[in-house]
Amino acid sequence: MAQKGCLILLFVAILLLDQIVGQSSKARKHSKRRVKEKNGDLKTQIDKLWQEVNSLKEMQALQTVCLRGTKVHKKCYLASDGAKHFHEANEDCIAKGGTLAIPRSGDETNALRDYTKKSLPNVGDFWLGVTDMVNEGKFVDVNGMVLNYFNWDRSQPNGGKRENCVSFSHSAQGKWVDEVCRTVKRYVCEFLIP
């Protein structure tokens, strides 16, 4: 009988020990899960902070551009310091975070004309971000988006397959002319304001 009592006592002790170890293991797993969740939350918060910092940097750069150039509607324009052919001018604007200027209304055309008369004195024309390189006769912006506004000079576009890039003509009061893309011209970059 004493042996049976010892066996029962030993059995109960083993069950209690098993339960304690199981709960301890569950608590450690739960604790690890909480630490992982906290680490995940911290990582998400850090990622959000970095996005915010980068966004603030972009806004600060845009404000600098707007101070050096001019703000019109929800855009900033910045005239180039030098002249380049169309593709180089477009790449330069992209590297600065914008595109070649694309007037999308009469108001934007007038504002761009007024700005460039001051910022590009004695410059007869400059590159716009408009081309028909992909599909002859179908002019789109440099991002490939269809345009709803055109401001062609009389008898323009007239260059056929040879003239695929568009310039803004001061002598024609801001009218557009198609030109050979390899021509070296001044240009204006456009930056959208969020």
Measure the CA–CA gap between 140 and 161, rounded to whole angstroms: 15
Same domain? 96 vs 150: yes
Give the residue with greater pLDDT, 187 vs 39: 187
Q: Is the pTM of this model over 0.75?
A: no
Domain C-terminal end among 20, 50, 68:
68
Query: Cis (ω within 30 of 0) for the bond into 194?
Result: no
Same domain? 59 vs 76: no
Classify 139 as helix, strand or coil. coil
Same domain? 17 vs 79: no
Containing 170, the helix (H) or strand (E) segment is none
Over 90: is that where the pLDDT of 115 sits? yes
Same domain? 79 vs 148: yes
Same domain? 112 vs 49: no
Please give the residue range of the domain that contains residue 50. Answer: 1-68
Same domain? 47 vs 115: no
H helix intervals, the chain? 2-68, 86-95, 106-119
Over 70: is that where the pLDDT of 62 sits? no
Domain count, the chain: 2
- Give the angle 167-76-184 at the CA atoms, nearest 5°: 30
Give the residue with greater pLDDT, 62 vs 153: 153
Backbone angles phi, psi at 167, to 5 degrees: -120, 160
Per the listing, tokens 């590159």 go with 127
Q: What is the CATH number of the domain that holds 142?
A: 3.10.100.10
Same domain? 38 vs 80: no
User: Tens digit of pLDDT for each residue in 76-89?
Assistant: 999 999 999 999 99
Same domain? 37 vs 86: no
